[in-house]
Structure formats: structure tokens, C-alpha cells
């Protein structure tokens, strides 16, 4: 406990009150309307709450001068078109995830989460105090876009498995729904990553069309029902701190008066942090529900042999990316350096604390 020494001198501080003083700068009374396209369906839990929270904060703080309407994918029909729609100005803002654009702009991959990468507080440290935001600006600035952290899911689970993974051999031929970069890592080890539409996942896992799948974690897995049909829930390795993103068309942003720019930036920043905490809360609640209803769910971690091989495959894939593109190298080096320092601290703080209480 840090404690200030209590000076016993009489309190002589000047009295003060909330008083009316000189008139403020002439305010711009115009109403600015912005339209936001989100990648998610209407009323999607947690992710969709982040956009609603942000828009409500902006409207209240601006006394109605900043009105943001939100179109879900049900309306705009282009969940993975958000980058292009904001870039072109068809929408002023977007809410999505940076790694969805890696096929279009490879260096967007690094601003969501990385296998074996930083946890949420580590990654927020990198974004806000360790140069991450500046690197994201560099990647997105070329496209007339601004990108900001848009809410964190927290550590994602490794997924639901029908059979135990006890060795590297158990990965060979494993049919798993695991999209994106993590799928590439597993493919290097002989697994067969597949992509299956969300609506068909439950049946595919139940009928053993696939052996395993990953989705998010208890916050969003509960409603999918996978815990009813798969006995093993593996702890995470591939998305330790999935950060969504707010996208803004730069020209549209620059047309806003300075106070509304600051209101918008602060509303996004608060909504992002809030989503991290809401995700934590929802995962805690939903995990308790799952365990109550299905007490036999077995939580497993991959054995060292598997973790080591996945790390090696991951390192190799990243080395290829760094070798091919100087900006990719710059970003990856920045992340690796930050992770090293931040993890040394995490290990002697939260990890040591949590371990000391679970012996």
C-alpha cells in the first residue's frame, strides 16, 4: 500500500465552488450524423454492445450534436466489406476486426491478436504506450482510414474437442474448424483446418463431420451449445487477446470540430475497454452456467510437446512474413520486444499471484 504521510496542518486550501464564469468558445451547434457499419448481426451480444455503448456515449457527451447510427450485417449484407465501405466513404465508420483484412492488406493481421502473443493488458500497453497505435496508423493511413482498438474478447479458448490431444500424432488429420492464421499454424502440423458456416457448426461437431472447433470462449460459446456435445474444452493458445477495431474514414473525421473529434475518440476508447470488462464478466457468468448444467466438461491444456511444436510453426510463419516485408518486420519486432518486457512483469505479478492461490 502506498500511503501519503498525513500532514496535520490545518487545512488551508482555498475554497471553491462550481460557478458560472466567462462564456465559452462559440460552440458549433450543428448536428453531425455518422453512419457505422458493423460486421456483426443485429443485436449480437458483447460485440454489438460495444458499438451501442460508443454511440450512446458520443450522443450524450455531445448533447445530441453527434449522432451515430449503426447498421448491422443484416442491413448492409457485407460483413467483410466494412474496410472497403469505410474507405470509400459509403460508411463513415466501421466496427470489425483488423485481421479480417489480411487478404487485402497483409499487415492488418497484427492488430487483433497473435498466437502465443500478448494478453489484453499487455496488448493495451503496447497499443497505447508502446508504439502499437502509431504502427496501426502507418498501416491504415495509406487507405484514408483511421483504426482504433474496438473492444477485447479476452483470452479465447482453444476450442471444443471430441477426443483428447495427447501428442503431436493426435493432430495429424484432425479436422478442425479454425479459420485464419491459427489454422495455418495447425496445418503445418498436419491438421486439416476447415471452414464451416456458423449455422452448421453444431451439427458438424455433433455428427463428427469435424473433430473439433474453436469459436470464442464462454461469453459467446454458451449460446452455440457446443458444451452439450463435446467433452473436452481446451485452453487457449491462438488468440490470447482478440481486439476488435473501430474504423473511421479519415476525411469524414477531419470534418468534425475538435471537440467532437475528442468526444468520438474517447467514446471509442471507453467502449473498447468496457467491452473487455463486459467480455470478462460474460465469460465468468457463462462458464458458471455451463459447469452447473454440464459438470462433466473437462478442461484440458495441450501437452508441452504440442505447445512447443505450435510455437515453432508459428515462429516460422512469422519469420517468413518478416523477411518478405520491412513494415511487417518492424511491427513484429515491436510486438516481440514489448511482449518480452510485459510478460516478465506479468509472470511475477498476476501469474505468480494466481498460482499461489491455486495450489
357 is a contact residue toward its own copies (CB under 8 A): yes
Residues in the chain: 359
Least distance from its own copies to the Cβ atom of residue 359, Å? 5
Binding residues: 156, 177, 214-215, 239
**Considering only residues 239-268, where is the footprint of its own copies by CB under 8 A?**
239-240, 242, 252, 255-259, 262-263, 266-267
| Three-state SS at 352 | helix
Nearest to 185 by CA among 316, 92, 63: 316
Footprint (CB under 8 A) of its own copies, residues 298-317: 299, 301-302, 304, 307
The size of the interface with its own copies (CB under 8 A), counted in residues, is: 147
> In the set 48, 130, 132, 151, which binds its own copies (CB under 8 A)?
130
DSSP state of 257: -
Q: Which of 245, 278, 314, 335 binds its own copies (CB under 8 A)?
A: 278
User: Exactly one of 50, 76, 87, 139 binds its own copies (CB under 8 A); which one?
Assistant: 76
12 makes contact with its own copies (CB under 8 A):
yes
Least separation in angstroms between residue 59's CB and its own copies is 9
Q: Of 318-337, which residues contact its own copies (CB under 8 A)?
A: none
Task: Candidates 42, 43, 128, 134: give the one binding its own copies (CB under 8 A).
Answer: 128
CA atoms of 216 and 157, how far apart (whole Å): 6
197 lies in the binding site for its own copies (CB under 8 A): yes
Choose which of 45, 106, 121, 190 interacts with its own copies (CB under 8 A). Answer: 121
Q: Per CB under 8 A, does 51 bind its own copies?
A: no
Applying CB under 8 A, which of residues 50, 55, 70, 85 lies at the interface with its own copies? 85
Instruction: Tell me how far the alpha carbon of residue 252 is from its chain's centroid.
Output: 25
Return d(Cα 350, Cα 293) in angstroms, integer: 30
65 and 29 Cβ atoms separated by less than 8 Å = yes
Q: Which residues are annotated as a binding site for substrate?
A: 156, 177, 214, 239
- The interface mask with its own copies, positions 28-47, x = CB under 8 A, is -xxxxxxx-x-xxx-----x
Stretch in the footprint of its own copies (CB under 8 A) among 91-99, 140-148, 160-168, 319-327 = 91-99
Measured on CA atoms in the order 348, 350, 354, 357, is the torsion positive or negative? positive
At 142, is the secondary structure helix, strand, or coil? coil
Q: Which of 80, 71, 77 is nearest to 52 (CA)?
A: 71
Q: What is the 3-state secondary structure (H, E, C) of 236-289?
A: CCCCCCCEEEEEEEHHHHHCCCHHHHHHHHHHHHHHHHHHHHHHHHHHHHHHHH
**Separation CA 116–CA 310 (nearest Å):** 9
The region of 138-146, 184-192, 194-202, 318-326 touching its own copies under the rule CB under 8 A is 194-202
Q: Does 164 bind its own copies (CB under 8 A)?
A: no
132 binds its own copies (CB under 8 A): no
**Position 346 contacts its own copies (CB under 8 A):** yes
What minimum distance in Å lies between the beta carbon of 61 and its own copies?
5
In degrees and rounded to multiples of 5, residue 96 shows phi and psi of -160, -150
Buried/exposed code over 26-61 (b: 16+ C-beta within 10 A; e: otherwise): eeeeeebebbbbbbbeeebebbbbbbebbbebbbeb
**Minimum distance from CB of 202 to its own copies (Å)?**
15
| Cβ 132 to its own copies shortest distance, Å | 11
Residue 73 and residue 81 in contact, taking contact as beta carbons nearer than 8 Å:
no
Closer CB to its own copies, 105 or 327, in the complex: 105
Q: Are strands 232-234 and 298-300 parallel, antiparallel or unpaired?
A: parallel
* Contact between residue 97 and residue 179 where contact means Cβ atoms under 8 Å apart: no
Q: Which residues are annotated as a binding site for Na(+)?
A: 215
Amino acid at each position: 500500500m502506498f500511503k501519503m504521510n498525513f500532514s496535520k496542518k490545518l487545512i488551508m486550501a482555498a475554497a471553491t465552488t462550481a460557478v458560472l464564469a466567462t462564456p465559452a468558445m462559440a460552440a458549433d451547434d450543428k448536428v453531425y450524423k455518422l453512419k457505422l457499419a458493423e460486421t456483426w448481426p443485429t443485436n449480437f451480444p458483447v460485440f454489438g454492445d460495444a458499438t451501442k455503448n460508443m454511440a450512446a456515449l458520443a450522443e450524450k457527451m455531445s448533447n445530441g450534436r453527434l449522432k451515430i447510427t449503426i447498421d448491422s450485417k443484416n442491413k448492409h449484407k457485407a460483413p467483410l466489406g466494412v474496410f472497403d465501405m469505410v474507405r470509400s466513404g459509403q460508411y463513415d465508420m466501421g466496427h470489425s476486426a483488423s485481421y479480417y483484412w489480411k487478404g487485402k492488406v497483409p499487415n492488418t493481421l497484427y492488430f487483433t491478436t497473435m498466437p502465443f502473443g500478448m494478453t489484453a493488458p499487455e496488448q493495451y500497453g503496447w497499443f497505447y504506450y508502446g508504439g502499437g497505435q502509431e504502427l496501426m496508423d502507418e498501416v491504415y493511413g495509406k487507405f484514408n482510414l483511421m483504426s482504433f482498438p474496438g473492444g477485447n474478447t479476452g483470452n479465447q479458448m482453444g476450442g471444443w474437442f471430441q477426443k483428447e490431444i495427447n501428442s503431436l500424432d493426435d493432430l495429424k488429420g484432425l479436422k478442425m474448424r479454425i479459420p485464419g492464421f491459427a489454422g495455418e499454424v495447425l496445418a503445418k502440423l498436419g491438421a486439416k483446418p476447415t471452414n464451416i458456416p456458423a449455422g452448421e457448426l453444431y451439427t458438424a461437431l455433433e455428427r463428427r463431420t469435424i473433430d473439433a472447433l474453436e469459436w470464442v470462449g464462454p461469453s459467446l460459446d454458451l449460446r452455440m451449445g457446443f458444451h452439450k456435445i463435446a467433452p473436452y474444452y481446451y485452453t487457449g493458445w491462438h488468440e490470447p487477446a482478440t481486439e476488435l477495431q473501430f474504423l473511421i474514414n479519415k476525411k469524414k473525421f477531419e470534418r468534425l470540430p475538435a471537440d467532437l473529434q475528442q468526444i468520438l475518440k474517447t467514446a471509442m476508447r471507453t467502449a473498447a475497454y468496457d467491452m473487455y470488462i463486459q467480455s470478462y464478466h460474460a465469460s465468468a457468468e457463462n462458464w458458471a452456467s455451463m459447469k452447473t448444467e454440464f459438470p462433466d466438461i473437462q478442461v484440458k491444456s495441450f501437452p508441452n510437446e504440442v505447445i512447443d511444436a505450435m510455437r515453432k510453426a508459428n515462429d516460422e510463419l512469422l519469420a517468413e512474413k518478416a523477411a518478405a516485408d520491412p513494415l511487417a518486420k518492424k511491427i513484429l519486432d515491436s510486438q516481440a520486444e514489448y511482449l518480452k518486457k510485459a510478460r516478465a512483469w506479468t509472470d511475477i505479478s498476476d501469474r505468480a499471484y494466481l498460482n499461489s492461490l491455486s495450489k
